[in-house]
Amino acid sequence: MNALALNMSAMHFLQLDTLHFAYPNRGEVVRDVCLQLAPGEIHCLIGRSGCGKTTVLKLAAGLLTPQQGQVQLKGQTVQQPTADMGFVFQSPTLLDWLSVLDNVLLPLSLHGTVTDTHRAYGEQLLAHMGLAALCNDKPHRLSGGQQSRVAIARALITRPAVLFMDEPFAALDAITREELQRDFLALCQSNGTAVLFVTHDMVEAVYLADQVSLMHQGRLQAPLRIDLPRPRQSAMRYTPAFNALCEQLRHAMDATR
Ligand X SMILES: Nc1ncnc2c1ncn2[C@@H]1O[C@H](COP(=O)(O)OP(=O)(O)OP(=O)(O)O)[C@@H](O)[C@H]1O
Binding site for Mg ion (CB under 5 A): 54
Give the residue from 40, 16, 30 showing the smallest Cα distance to 209.
40
Our CB check for Mg ion shows the closer of 134 and 163 to be 163
- In Å, what is the CA distance from 121 to each residue of 59, 101, 127, 187? 30, 10, 10, 13
Q: How far is CA 94 from the centre of its chain?
A: 18
Under rule CB under 6 A, residue 256 binds ligand X: no
In three-state secondary structure terms, 100 is helix
Our CB check for Mg ion shows the closer of 41 and 167 to be 167
Q: Are 114 and 154 in contact, with CB atoms under 8 Å apart? A: no
Under rule CB under 6 A, residue 29 binds ligand X: yes
In single-letter form, the type of residue at position 50 comes to G
Q: How far is CA 142 from the centre of its chain?
A: 22
Query: What residues pair up with 35 in beta bridges, in sequence order?
Result: 16
36, 55, 148, 211: which one binds ligand X (CB under 6 A): 55
Q: How far is the CB of 111 from Mg ion (least distance, A)?
A: 28
Under rule CB under 6 A, residue 231 binds ligand X: no
231 binds, among ligand X, Mg ion, none (CB under 5 to 8 A by kind): none
How many CB atoms lie under 10 A from the CB of residue 89? 16
39, 52, 145, 168: which one binds ligand X (CB under 6 A): 52
Under rule CB under 6 A, residue 26 binds ligand X: yes
Q: How far is the CB of 135 from ligand X (least distance, A)?
A: 32
Our CB check for Mg ion shows the closer of 43 and 128 to be 43
> Which residues are at the interface with ligand X (CB under 6 A)?
23, 26, 29, 47, 49-55
